[in-house]
Amino acid sequence: MSPAADLSTLSVRPIRGDELPRWQRLMVEEHYLQSNRMVGEQIRYVAVDGGGTWRACLGWSAGCRHLSGREDWLGWTEGQRSMRLRLVVNNARFLVLGTRGETPNLASKVLSLNLARLSRDWEEAYGHPALIAETFVDLQRRRADGSVEELSEREAGACYRAVGFEACGQTRGFRRVRGGFQRHSQRRLLLVREIIAGAKAMLTDVETPWDLTEQAAPGSRVDLLSLPTAFDPERGIVAHLVRQVPDPRQVRQYRWLCILGGLLGGVQPANRR
């Protein structure tokens, strides 16, 4: 089968329960990390061609807890990160099977197909969508002869860039493990992208339908009045209050929206006084 025909019949789906041992074994035997463990919420996928042959394996897990490059890219405050981190997922494993370079563009095609269904699958599994994808690319690649190839930031992650990922700088040398973080000496490039259009704007808005405000520490909750959209007539805090705060009046001479707007007009955030 030619590479072009192979790509045209390619599909990506979550693995079945009886396929888990095979997926795990391939990660241990063929992935450079030699590990199949992932942290938090997670979904494992397989890419298959028209003949049912496995062409790639992927694993998505919970997003990393702290990434300054990601927070800068999103424009997140600490409170927003605390409330919305579960909407970020990490491509923790990606293994293309077969001889390297055997099928041109296979990796980017697999990623594209996976991203097209990832948010829907995540919501079905965990009750909330995945809005932002992140991953890490090593800047030092070990060759078959044992030597180490140094990659520049521009060279690294070509298949991810081909489907819209953006580079957000290098990590500080820690990886998430069960129970905390572990330091490593590997230089890695952080890459991120929206899974659905408009995700960045949604995640920096006054609210999302999936905010975990009750789980955020009081000191880290977002200052709503400091957000750029705070006084936006459609997405701002006034519009939010109109939806959330009931009008207790019996006699309604003035619109509730105008009253709330007037009250908020005299309020200033602590950092603007």
Specify whether the CB–CB gap between 98 and 55 falls below 8 A: yes
pLDDT at 270: 47
Strand, helix or coil at 81? helix
Question: What is the longest distance spanned by two Cα atoms in the chain?
Answer: 83
Cα dihedral sign for 199, 59, 86, 117?
positive
Enclosing H/E stretch for 192 = strand 188-194
Where along the chain do its domains lie? 3-211, 223-272
Residues ≥6 apart with Cβ < 8 Å to 35: 27, 28
pLDDT at 267: 56
Tens of pLDDT along the chain (273 residues) come to 444 446 889 999 999 999 999 999 999 998 888 788 898 999 999 999 999 999 999 999 999 988 999 999 999 999 899 999 999 999 999 999 987 778 889 999 999 999 999 999 999 999 999 999 999 998 876 665 666 677 777 778 899 999 999 999 887 665 555 555 566 567 789 999 999 999 999 999 988 999 986 554 444 455 555 555 666 666 565 566 555 666 677 666 677 667 766 776 665 554 444
Token pair for 38? 């992932």
CA distance 249 to 256: 9
Residues ≥6 apart with Cβ < 8 Å to 257: 238, 242
In CATH, the number for domain 3-211 is 3.40.630.30
pLDDT at 139: 80
pLDDT at 177: 56
Token pair for 27? 């990660």
